[in-house]
Structure 1
Amino acid sequence: MTGATGTIGRHIVSSLDEAGRRVRALVRDPAGAALPEGVEVVRGDLSSPGTLEAALRDVESVYLMWPGIAVDPRVVEVIARHAERVVYLSTDVADLADGEPATSYHQEIERLIRKSGLSWTFLRAIDFATNTLGWADQVRQGVVRWPYGQASRSLIHERDIADVAVRVLTSPGHDGARYVITGPESITHAEQVRIIGEAVGRQVRWEDLPVEVARRQLTAAWGNAAFVDARLRAWGSFVESPERVTDTVERVLGKPARTFRSWTEEHADDFR
């Protein structure tokens, strides 16, 4: 699997290992991976497809997390030569018609996978609760300044993504599925900040940041003006139309998705 040392990947690796499944983890630095003892750790890099051949030998299923680098079709080609199926962590993207240009690397990879001959499942996670860790410094100061305080988001706990991935990797009936996975409720930015404050035992105030100020600050921080504009448009749309909530996690796992409050309680120390 790829992304084994990441926020989601570590949960997937641990769950598969605890269930007695053989796991091979592709990492750039095996010495620093710090994965469970029973996990086979191999060196490789998605930016260098030639390094994947040995890692994929005798592999049946692949969990693929793309790190945001330029898409190289050879990665999917190598996977298709060795594995039978792939579970790809995508995002909430629209399906492409034949010939329609991709607007994101997720769409590019989904299209490559669909044409590869592999059995596949796409996990389209809308957005992660872990992204609110970007507010941690402001939380410590007692006020979060961000645009669109009334934008309602359906953030998902990383462990729910991992649990769905494990279920899909280890059970039949998911081939060709496009699972849009979200948290169980849609909560405004301002309410998220209040809940974080309660988890850390501190009153935290929300302050709406003017959109143009946010655009300048985020472009300077993220270095991608087009991405910033896309994020601002999306957040603005969630003021009038809350981000959608799906029951996919409950349908796949047989239990409700974890709440944002439960996530903040688990991560309270990260905000202190």
Structure 2
Amino acid sequence: MYLVTGATGVIGRPLVQALLSEGAGIRAVTRDADRADFPDGVEPVASEAIRRALRGVHGLFVHPRAAEDDLGKLLRLAAEEGVPKVVVMSAINVDDPFDHQPSRYNGDRNTEVERAVTASPLPWIAVRPSSFAMNTLAMWRGQIASGAVVRGPYGSFAEAVIHERDVAEVLARALMDDGLLGRTISITGPQALRLDEMVPLIGAAIGRPLRFEEVPAEAAAQGMIRNGLDERFVRALMARYRRELERPPTVTAEVETILGRPARTFAAWAGDHAGEWS
């Protein structure tokens, strides 16, 4: 039996599926247990019943957004109930200065959550994914739905984005495999791609040609701010693009090492989400 926080989110749902496929029992923390829509084999748990939910579990998954407000209490209760393992997800840039982590301006506290888990008395594993391939939906869906050109800054910026299912399957293995205890594991996609290389791959997945057209960074930033993104996030993102433009992108083989198969490609991710661009 495993307890999963953030079970209804981008990572939580595929993590639940990955654990179910291994025959594991799951308790899923949710704000509204009575209305939760989970597959058979998943026990919804209201947050106020967390102590009971921790009893008898073999591992706890800590999602940084789901757990950050009550993390100290959660870890204390887990220790009191004898939970043998905690797996925490943070991010590959968790050791960077705070102003180099754009997602902090969207509320993420990856650094604090990971440090709290690794400083606790509980055995732990920390999984640090690269940027999710899913982020391209938020960035480009509107433009792709209405045309054949994606306009954006820094087309030559490259990174090895990761499929959310790979993240989930590594997390599931971390929960179930004691051989990973005490490790900090950085995971990425199998290949670094430029932004202007990703867009045509999405086009191939949806069956129509697409291309990337680079625009000045300030024009792009103003457009993102007009569309409702936090200006601090936008400025930090642009600074990250500029800062990392000439650096070799980070690519690790940890997904293949842990799962025994290569990480899924961006093209495979685009195919899995081909119906979500309109």
TM-score when normalising by structure 1: 0.88
Aligned with 1:154 (options 160, 164, 168): 160
Alignment correspondent of 2:115 = 111
Alignment correspondent of 2:60 = 62
State the AA in 1 paired with 2:120. Answer: S
State the AA in 2 paired with 1:154. Answer: A
Unaligned runs of 5+ in 2: none
Task: Give the Cα–Cα distance (whole angstroms) in 2 for the partners of residues 23 and 68 of structure 1.
Answer: 17
Alignment of 1:124-143 (within 5 A): 124-134=128-138, 135-140=140-145, 141-143=147-149
RMSD: 2.3
Residue 58 of structure 2 corresponds to residue 78 of structure 1: no
State the AA in 2 paired with 1:232. Answer: M
Unaligned runs of 5+ in 1: 45-49
The answer to whether the 8 Å contact 1:2/1:27 transfers is: yes
Aligned with 1:21 (options 19, 24, 38): 24
The answer to whether the 8 Å contact 1:181/1:248 transfers is: yes
Distance change >3 Å, CA 70–CA 2, structure 1 → 2: closer
State the AA in 2 paired with 1:239. Answer: L
State the AA in 1 paired with 2:73. Answer: R
State the AA in 1 paired with 2:91. Answer: T
Alignment of 1:1-272 (within 5 A): 1-44=4-47, 51-67=49-65, 71-72=69-70, 73-82=72-81, 83-95=83-95, 105-134=109-138, 135-140=140-145, 141-221=147-227, 223-272=229-278
The answer to whether the 8 Å contact 1:186/1:242 transfers is: no
Task: Give the Cα–Cα distance (whole angstroms) in 2 for the partners of residues 95 and 192 of structure 1.
Answer: 27
Task: Give the Cα–Cα distance (whole angstroms) in 2 for the partners of residues 212 and 57 of structure 1.
Answer: 52
Shift of 1:30: 2.6
More off after superposition, 86-95 vs 127-136: 86-95
Shift of 1:95: 4.7
State the AA in 2 paired with 1:226. Answer: R
CA deviation vs aligned residue, 1:52-73 (integer Å, no higher than 9, x gap):
3233233231111122786443
The answer to whether the 8 Å contact 1:71/1:108 transfers is: no
State the AA in 2 paired with 1:230. Answer: A
More off after superposition, 2-11 vs 122-131: 2-11
State the AA in 2 paired with 1:78. Answer: L
State the AA in 2 paired with 1:176. Answer: G
Shift of 1:220: 4.4
Task: Give the Cα–Cα distance (whole angstroms) in 2 for the partners of residues 112 and 127 of structure 1.
Answer: 22
Distance change >3 Å, CA 188–CA 249, structure 1 → 2: same
The answer to whether the 8 Å contact 1:151/1:237 transfers is: no
Alignment correspondent of 1:47 = none
Number of residue pairs aligned between Structure 1 and Structure 2: 263
Distance change >3 Å, CA 34–CA 166, structure 1 → 2: same
Shift of 1:119: 0.7
Identity %: 37
CA deviation vs aligned residue, 1:49-104 (integer Å, no higher than 9, x gap):
x55323323323111112278644333333333322111111013559xxx9xx86
Task: Give the Cα–Cα distance (whole angstroms) in 1 for the partners of residues 67 and 86 of structure 2.
Answer: 19
The answer to whether the 8 Å contact 2:6/2:66 transfers is: no
TM-score when normalising by structure 2: 0.86
